Amino acid sequence: MARKKRVIPDVLAIDIGDKGQTIGRTKEGEIVIINGGCVPGDTIDFLYLRKKKGLKFGQVKEIKSFSTDRVNPQCQHFGICGGCKWQNLSYKAQLKFKQTAVEQAIKRIAKDEEQKVETIVACKETYEYRNKLEYSFSSKRWLTLEEIKSNADFSKSNGLGFHISGAFDKVLQIEKCHLQNDLSNQIRKEVAQIAEKHQLTYYNIREHKGFFRNIIIRNSTIGEWMVTLVVGEENIDDIQLVLNELIGVFPNVNSWNYIINQKMNSSLFDLPSINYSGKDHIIERLGEIKYRISPKSFFQTNSRQAERLYNKARELANLKKDDILYDLYTGTGSIALYMAQDCLKVVGIEEVPEAIQDAKQNAKENEIGNAEFLVGDVKEVLKVSFKEKYGSPDVVITDPPRAGMHADVVETLLQLESPKIVYISCNPSTQARDILLLKEKYRIERIVPVDMFPHTSHIESIAQLILK
């Protein structure tokens, strides 16, 4: 027998969870998790669907009254595309919730009741702030309820846009995305027209067939553009046909590349990127430093805000000319190179060999002679004995992935006893977890949240830790 769905009336949406869901409170004071459709301040009738770990999960049945923090979303795809779920919340309110999330993590996880979290650094550009978008092709596009109800034949309906979360084989056809400069939309639309004109196939993930898989469009704040076409078939004639037509329409794109991916999965790290026309990289500039970005290189996706993030990290690092700096999880050495002129020497560690190649190349092109880069897992490379070879660190900057630092890395940092640690994180929960361990020898001096991604639940946070 199907389980009965229950409606709980007059639930007040009070907060936003770390995965972007809304948190609600019933009239009886019970906390419930609402999967989209409302913003804090709304009062709703809540359709309770399931229980997990003692919490009720469900969705909006009806909105009874609207929050004063609501705004009209700019994007026509809002509500279906999973990309910018907070667009219907004012930017001021978004910042308030991000600020609170960092405060709560420090209080509850790092167990620091007293710590004052500084005002979040807002992002001036709330649209067109991304320098990279990856669109997917699918022979099965996501259909709206209206389309399904229309009974039209959609058996051969191609889609070019973004995957919908929870529907790995379906792609939402994007008409306009506001996250990158509009040239990105124009290039994507042109590819779709070329595909249509030449009857080239879109990828079918279930059957593992089809020519077009992805198109990755990157740009930089100095106006350079890169297009990388990812195809599922090694059909050089068709690759040339598509790229030649695109180059004709967009002669100002600086770098044209393609990748042939015939694997079942869509990861590209183990596949060669082939430069078809123009440069094999583009240049981005943050502060004084020019960065070379290759098709597969990692680079912060919001360049202007990355510069503000690095400036804040520089302020917190407060390097002296004779300081030794370690930059853990250095990626393409972006932070290390940004700070190199402030100190005697910087040592960067990163596990992706191609990123380290880029870091070394970037050091050379910027004539930076005091930066060394090492490939490997920080857990393996950073040992206490490391300081005998590279010198004892005066400042450690660490910028790990969402999972935070491995406990062994935290232990090594405790033994290294650098006078200062600047911990940059894209996940306040794991940052607070690691800080709790570091508190054995460190005190938190400053915490500064930074908003890198408006309209999303992502939060960046920088902590300055001082050896006690």
219: helix, coil or strand? Answer: strand
Q: Which of 292, 312, 449 is nearest to 358 (CA)?
A: 292
Q: Which stretch binds ligand SAM (CB under 6 A): 33-41, 251-259, 346-354, 386-394?
A: 346-354
SS3 content of the chain, % helix, strand, coil (to 5): 25, 30, 45
Q: What is the largest CA-CA distance in the chain?
A: 73
Determine which residue in the list 112, 233, 307, 350 makes contact with ligand SAM, applying CB under 6 A: 350
Residue ranges in 82-121 that form contacts with ligand SAM under rule CB under 6 A? none
Sort residue 258 into left (φ over 0), alpha (ψ -120 to 50) or beta. beta
355 near ligand SAM, rule: CB under 6 A: yes
Nearer to ligand SAM, 69 or 399 (CB): 399
In the set 184, 300, 302, 427, which binds ligand SAM (CB under 6 A)? 300
Q: What are phi and psi of 238, to 5 degrees?
A: -70, -35
Residues 6+ away with beta carbon under 8 Å from 28: none
Which region, judged by CB under 6 A, interacts with ligand SAM, from 81-89, 204-212, 223-231, 329-337?
Answer: 329-337
Of the residues 63, 352, 414, 467, which one makes contact with ligand SAM according to CB under 6 A: 352
Q: What is the three-class DSSP state of 307?
A: helix
Q: Are 409 and 77 a contacting pair, CB within 8 Å?
A: no
The two structure tokens encoding residue 93: 């309110």
Candidate list 66, 78, 91, 298; residue touching ligand SAM; CB under 6 A: 298
CB 59 within 8 A of CB 36: yes
Judged by CB under 6 A, does residue 330 bind ligand SAM?
Answer: yes
- Give whichever of 43 and 300 is closer to ligand SAM, judged by the CB atom: 300
- 334, 412, 429, 431: which one binds ligand SAM (CB under 6 A): 334
Q: What is the C-alpha to C-alpha distance for residues 399 and 196, in angstroms, rounded to an integer?
A: 44
Shortest reach from residue 330's CB to ligand SAM, in Å: 6
Mask of contacts with ligand SAM, 46-65, x by CB under 6 A? --------------------
Q: In the window 378-417, what residues touch ligand SAM (CB under 6 A)?
A: 378-379, 399-401
Mark the segment that binds ligand SAM (CB under 6 A) among 21-29, 185-193, 250-258, 323-331: 323-331
- For 444, phi then psi, to 5°, come to -80, 125
If one asks whether residue 329 binds ligand SAM (CB under 6 A), the answer comes out as: yes
Q: Is 426 one of the catalytic residues?
A: yes
Q: Which two tokens stand for residue 185?
A: 């939309």
Number of neighbouring beta carbons within 10 Å of residue 407: 12
Buried b / exposed e over 432-451, threshold 16 CB at 10 Å, is: bbbbebbeebbebebbbbbb
Q: Does 359 bind ligand SAM (CB under 6 A)?
A: no
Q: How many residues bind ligand SAM (CB under 6 A)?
A: 19
Is 48 in a helix, a strand, or coil? Answer: strand
Q: Is 147 in the site for ligand SAM (CB under 6 A)?
A: no
Which residue has the CB atom at the shortest distance from ligand SAM? 331
Residue number, 88 or 302, with CB nearest to ligand SAM: 302
Catalytic residues, by residue number, are 426
Residues that bind ligand SAM (CB under 6 A): 298, 300, 329-331, 334-335, 349-352, 355, 377-379, 399-401, 426
